[in-house]
Amino acid sequence: MKSLVRDPIDVSKLAEAVSSNHLGASTTFVGSVRRGPEDGPVQAIEYTAYEEMAEAELARIVSEATERWPEVELAVQHRLGLVSVGEASVAVVAGAPHRAQAFEACRYVIEELKKRVPIWKKEVLDGGVERWREDGADAEGKR
């Protein structure tokens, strides 16, 4: 399954991809575009990526997690293009025989994704104004 997608993420379908009769636990993380008070009047976010590297980095992250938690099965999707408020931008599912592994592997993937996968977002505000939104994964962003 491709990790970078331009159509809406189907979380149920992603979860089904890692469910099987020997996996009793699954943890799903979904990140979505929010319109929080501190975010200002965000209508949507446009996601872009260094696609070849992002796919490769996601594959490396999944492979690291699978090495660390061999019983876990993982699925991850990140959306590109314009994503409206309320829609999912990213989803990670970890299926495992036991819940501790499911939680840990799911958390690992989303944390590493945020740190390492080259994806960027531009906020589209009410009125059509656009601005890059950089969370400061890089030291530069903190200056």
Partner 1 sequence: MHAPYETAGMADAHITVTCRLFARYAETVGLEECELELPVGATVREAVASLRRVVPNGSSIPEQPLVALNKQQVLPDHVLLDGDQLGLLPPLAGG
Footprint on this chain of its own copies (rule: CB under 8 A): 11-12, 15, 19, 21-37, 85-86, 97, 99, 102-103, 106-107, 110
- Angle subtended at Cα 103 by Cα 97 and Cα 106, rounded to the nearest 5 degrees: 105
Q: Which of 23, 47, 61, 74 binds partner 1 (CB under 8 A)?
A: 47
CB of 85 to its own copies, least distance (A): 5
Is 128 one of the binding residues for partner 1 (CB under 8 A)?
no
CB of 73 to partner 1, least distance (A): 20
| 19 binds, options partner 1, its own copies, none, Cβ within 5 to 8 A by partner type | its own copies
Measured from the Cβ of residue 58, the count of other Cβ atoms closer than 10 Å reads 24
| 54 binds, options partner 1, its own copies, none, Cβ within 5 to 8 A by partner type | partner 1
Of 117, 132, 126, which is closest to residue 31 (Cα–Cα)? 117
Q: Which region among 13-21, 35-43, 45-53, 66-74 touches partner 1 (by CB under 8 A)?
A: 45-53
73-79 and 88-96 beta bridge pairing: antiparallel
